[in-house]
A and B are shown apart, each in its own frame.
Chain A
Amino acid sequence: MRNQLATESLFGLSHHGRRGARFPAADVPVKPLDEIIPKSALSTEPTGLPEVTESDVIRHFVNLSTLNMCVDTHFYPLGSCTMKYNPKRHERLASLPGIVDLHPYQDLSGLQGMLELLYETQEMLAEISGLPAVSLQPAAGAQGEFTALLTAKAYFEDRGEKRTKVLFPNSAHGTNPASAAIAGFECVQLASSKEGLVDLDDLKAHLDDQTAVFMVTNPNTLGLFEKDIKQIAQMVHDAGGLVYIDGANMNAILGFTRPGDFGGDMMHYNVHKTFTGPHGAGGPGSGPIAVREFLADFLPGPVIKRNSAENEFTLETPPKSIGRVRSFYGNIGILVRGYCYLRTLGAAGLKAVSENAVLNANYLKAILKDVLPVPNGDLCMHEFVASASKSKSENGITAMDIAKRLLDFGFHAPTVYFPLVVPEAIMIEPTETESKETLDAFAETIRNILQEDPEFLHLAPHSTKISRPDEVVAARNPILQCCEPQ
């Protein structure tokens, strides 16, 4: 049933003279171009863009889209990514006139509704985190990390301190060290304890007067709550450092506990995860940060302020701001969706999100544990990291084999081989927007897979449009566009 013709390369579909979009003739007096633009600046030949009709374009991209798995069509238990349902009302509301067509430089008088929405978003994010000062600017979680680290750096400099190190556990997301490096810090990676938590002894051994920030994901990437977080924060604070909470896993703790209450000084949200952004095939994300009051003056500008006397909203740059981290104000379209989500759920709804996310994860873990043991933790939070070590040593079935074979049965693969601290890691995050029936079917499928011929599994998937791609060939001789480099 696949339309192979339509999914040929766009450039292969091109025929000279075809048009996909037409524009009206100029209604102003037209001058020869080389009279208004110097000849030396004008191109001598047209770009090499393809020539196709509108229906070519539609058929091409619609057919391509059907080659994807997505949340709208499949269970997508990708650990660490929070692939929850993306409510359709968000798409409609984010596209309303008066929302989608606002220019970033239009006069504030015509933006009061938007600024009110964003101000309320700031307030809600402050309350959910227990950290009162919010910047909506960061474009994604990684930029949130970078922004908060620079905020910390500016704070220390303002106090006349020069602190050079950022510490993080070895289970951290790759963005933590990458952001710390770009923010000009020395990266210090710490060991994890046998339980998969922060190793307090190793932390103690590395804390000193050079420690600027300790970055920790809580719940951590193993899906475990760092039960000693209060003590950890105390140790970091005693050394004069700040605690950064990577908010990637906020879906587990909404309304139960708050980063500000368990010792965090700064955090980022992933609006595209926790508040169902959506993910957009890789972005755009949105990574607002929340920080303690004493860091507020250093946040990037502008932030949205309310002048309560006149009930007027304005844009202001904090007095000791680190500067801008991007143009304009943030990934507003994603923040609007996050706002709609928070307003739909309210306090009880958010708590129910975490309850059911944690329930679903623990249930799936419980019904899988005899075949896919989970090395760390008795109860998990919103996700768990199982290991395929047992099946690998017994009959050679790897985490990758299981992941790829799941695709054949209509399930998206879990995250595999992350975090690095678990061998043959299979990281499963079902989210709250899945039913028990789906979880049962998924577990049953994994059991069946583990009974299959390992040789057959090494070749999986068998029913997708393509089989496993050759990544070595791809990297050795990268082909990154359809046409010859010009």
Chain B
Amino acid sequence: MPYLFNTPDQQQEMLQAIGVDSLEDLFSTIPSELRLNRPLDIPPALTEMELQAHVSKLAEKNVGPGSRVCMLGGGAYDHFIPAAVDEIARRGEFYTAYTPYQAEASQGSLQTFFEFQSLICQLTGMDVSNASLYEGGTCVSEAAFMAMRVTNRHDRVVLLGSLHPEYRQVVETYLTHLNCEVVVVPCVNGTADPADVEAAMNDQTACLVIQHPNFFGTLEEAEQLTEIAHKYGALSVVSYDPISLGILKRPGDYGADIAIAEGQSLGTPLQFGGPYLGLFSCSQKFVRRMPGRLIGQTVDRNGNLCYVLNLQAREQHIRRDKATSNICSNQGLIAIRAAVYLALLGKQGIREVAELSCQKAHYAAEQLSQIEGIDLLFADRPYFKEFVVSCSEGSDYLLRKARQAGFDLGPELSRFEFQNGSAPDQTGVLVAITEQRTREEIDRLVTALKA
């Protein structure tokens, strides 16, 4: 059997020490009528060689960006991952360690997470960051819960209709069964109208959730909307694209109370949607209301600087049903990837990636919209690296034609349920352009679509 040590002789020796006759006797506390009296019906065991052949075959049935050009977006992006990120994440010292509860034996993880928190603060302009949550969608519901605790308003949250529809669904799953009203502000022309937002807010609203750049790629008036939230005593929750902060104003710069994001773009491969990285940061004054693991700096008994899990009294293993969240893990290894990525890029690198993505996206949008039958939706709205095009022949036609030429675009908007008329156009298709795309690829796509 793979991965086991005990030889039959050793097993006998051990059973003797225990004082039983057989392995079977060790399971005598399981009543016989509850026992499974047949082997599990699962596929037969494979050796490493056979497993590799089998999984490779499954992998070959899939089509990855290795053989195609990925212009897919919608919350997961094909940004470049430097080799050093994989190199660090592959270290057994990191990936085979547990949560750093034993600080003396975990200073490597603890300092890395402390630096991760610091890097996220520098990126967002926020005061404090936790050591990560599951992913972008659950970050929104955790932020809403936190806003309810802070404002003591438990019955109402307001979301912009331009929030990622899957994030909105997550919030609805988490909140509506608690009789908390989830109000969605319509998104009529690619962004929310501040007047509509104002109309949706009241003095019972815990928070306003803004995605900026939003699901359609366009920029919201995040600063003005934050002021509106504050006017009603609500918290401003901003879901940002971490790469965009290489050029855009940071949530902390315009007064966001909680800044959250899907952190996949920071050095984590697409891997079919997970594991990804929930980034969660907020103002200093809310630190004791935060969900998730926090690493703090302290000293040991000899006065040496060191790091430790901090403010654990907020967490489920201490506070149980009164905890700020039920979360028990963080996305440790993915947070390590993000820390390495941000360290490698530095202030100049993140700006370059943001600028390249933005410039190339604008070139692509211009070129695509010159094709007859293809229109750029929300053409008068500024956007960052993602935009929506519509096709007179329908989204299926556009996607198929692009696919035949080796390009994956999307997701198509018809895939999602939007609320309050926030679905701009059922023929709309998202196109995301990262720094990895080239002019040659974009031109080739345009030529193929023209044909």
Of A98, A150, A181, A434, which contacts B322 at CB under 8 A? Answer: A181
The segment from B96-104, B193-201, B203-211, B225-233 found at the interface with A is: B96-104
CA distance A229 to B29 in the complex (A): 11
Of A98, A106, A178, which contacts B325 at CB under 8 A? Answer: A178
Of B20, B273, B339, which contacts A379 at CB under 8 A? Answer: B20
CA distance A110 to B111 in the complex (A): 41
B279 at the A/B interface (Cβ < 8 Å)? no
CA distance A181 to B59 in the complex (A): 41
B259 at the A/B interface (Cβ < 8 Å)? no
Complex interface: chain B residues within 8 A of A48 (CB)? 122, 347
Those of A146-197 within 8 Å (CB) of chain B = 146, 150, 153, 173-175, 177-184, 187
- Distance from A386 Cβ to chain B, minimum over Cβ atoms (Å): 15
Of B40, B319, B328, B403, which contacts A142 at CB under 8 A? Answer: B328
Complex interface: chain B residues within 8 A of A184 (CB)? 177-178
What would be 11 A-B contacts, judged by CB atoms less than 8 Å apart? Answer: A43-B247, A49-B123, A61-B112, A70-B93, A72-B92, A104-B272, A107-B399, A257-B35, A281-B333, A343-B45, A480-B114
B94 at the A/B interface (Cβ < 8 Å)? yes
A307 at the A/B interface (Cβ < 8 Å)? no
- Distance from B227 Cβ to chain A, minimum over Cβ atoms (Å): 13
Q: Which 5 A-B pairs have the closest CB atoms?
A: A328-B273, A113-B61, A346-B45, A98-B59, A280-B333
**Which DSSP category, helix, strand, loop or mixed, fits chain A's interface?**
loop
B386 at the A/B interface (Cβ < 8 Å)? no
Of B39, B63, B435, which contacts A106 at CB under 8 A? Answer: B63
Chain B: how many interface residues by the 8 Å CB criterion?
210
B95 at the A/B interface (Cβ < 8 Å)? yes
Complex interface: chain B residues within 8 A of A143 (CB)? 134, 138, 326-327
A327 at the A/B interface (Cβ < 8 Å)? yes
Complex interface: chain A residues within 8 A of B353 (CB)? 23
Asked whether, in the complex, the Cβ of B108 is within 8 Å of the Cβ of A64, the reply is yes
Asked whether, in the complex, the Cβ of B92 is within 8 Å of the Cβ of A70, the reply is yes
A5 at the A/B interface (Cβ < 8 Å)? no
Asked whether, in the complex, the Cβ of B48 is within 8 Å of the Cβ of A481, the reply is no
| CB-based nearest B residue for A187 | B321
The segment from A73-81, A205-213, A235-243 found at the interface with B is: A73-81
| CB-based nearest A residue for B71 | A103
B449 at the A/B interface (Cβ < 8 Å)? no
CA distance A466 to B108 in the complex (A): 11
Of B43, B65, B100, which contacts A343 at CB under 8 A? Answer: B43
Those of A49-108 within 8 Å (CB) of chain B = 49-52, 54, 57-58, 60-62, 64-73, 76, 78, 81, 83-87, 89, 91-94, 96-107
CA distance A257 to B28 in the complex (A): 12
Asked whether, in the complex, the Cβ of A71 is within 8 Å of the Cβ of B97, the reply is yes
The segment from B310-318, B369-377, B420-428 found at the interface with A is: B310-318
A199 at the A/B interface (Cβ < 8 Å)? no
| CB-based nearest A residue for B123 | A47
B184 at the A/B interface (Cβ < 8 Å)? no
| CB-based nearest B residue for A415 | B101
* CB within 8 Å for A433 and B5 given contacts A255-B39, A474-B308: yes
Asked whether, in the complex, the Cβ of A42 is within 8 Å of the Cβ of B107, the reply is no
B389 at the A/B interface (Cβ < 8 Å)? no
* CB within 8 Å for A436 and B118 given contacts A22-B349, A89-B51: no
Complex interface: chain A residues within 8 A of B27 (CB)? 256, 358
Complex interface: chain B residues within 8 A of A106 (CB)? 63, 70, 72, 408, 410
A309 at the A/B interface (Cβ < 8 Å)? no
Complex interface: chain B residues within 8 A of A279 (CB)? 95-99, 332
| CB-based nearest A residue for B441 | A27
CA distance A29 to B443 in the complex (A): 13
Complex interface: chain B residues within 8 A of A471 (CB)? 298, 308, 310
Complex interface: chain A residues within 8 A of B60 (CB)? 98, 113
Complex interface: chain A residues within 8 A of B6 (CB)? 356, 359-360, 435-436
Asked whether, in the complex, the Cβ of B98 is within 8 Å of the Cβ of A175, the reply is no
Those of A435-464 within 8 Å (CB) of chain B = 435-436, 459, 461, 464
The segment from A289-297, A362-370, A391-399 found at the interface with B is: A362-370
B150 at the A/B interface (Cβ < 8 Å)? no
* CB within 8 Å for A413 and B173 given contacts A65-B91, A70-B92, A105-B411: no
Asked whether, in the complex, the Cβ of A43 is within 8 Å of the Cβ of B121, the reply is no
Complex interface: chain A residues within 8 A of B145 (CB)? 182
* CB within 8 Å for A86 and B41 given contacts A93-B55, A112-B62: no
Between A140, A280, A300, the greatest number of chain B beta carbons within 10 A of the residue's beta carbon is seen for: A280
A371 at the A/B interface (Cβ < 8 Å)? no
Asked whether, in the complex, the Cβ of B313 is within 8 Å of the Cβ of A475, the reply is yes
| Given A65-B93, A329-B272, 7 extra CB contacts under 8 A | A57-B340, A70-B92, A128-B42, A256-B27, A279-B332, A379-B20, A404-B104
* CB within 8 Å for A101 and B359 given contacts A64-B107, A435-B6, A468-B301: no
B448 at the A/B interface (Cβ < 8 Å)? no
| CB-based nearest B residue for A57 | B343
* CB within 8 Å for A104 and B5 given contacts A19-B348, A480-B295: no
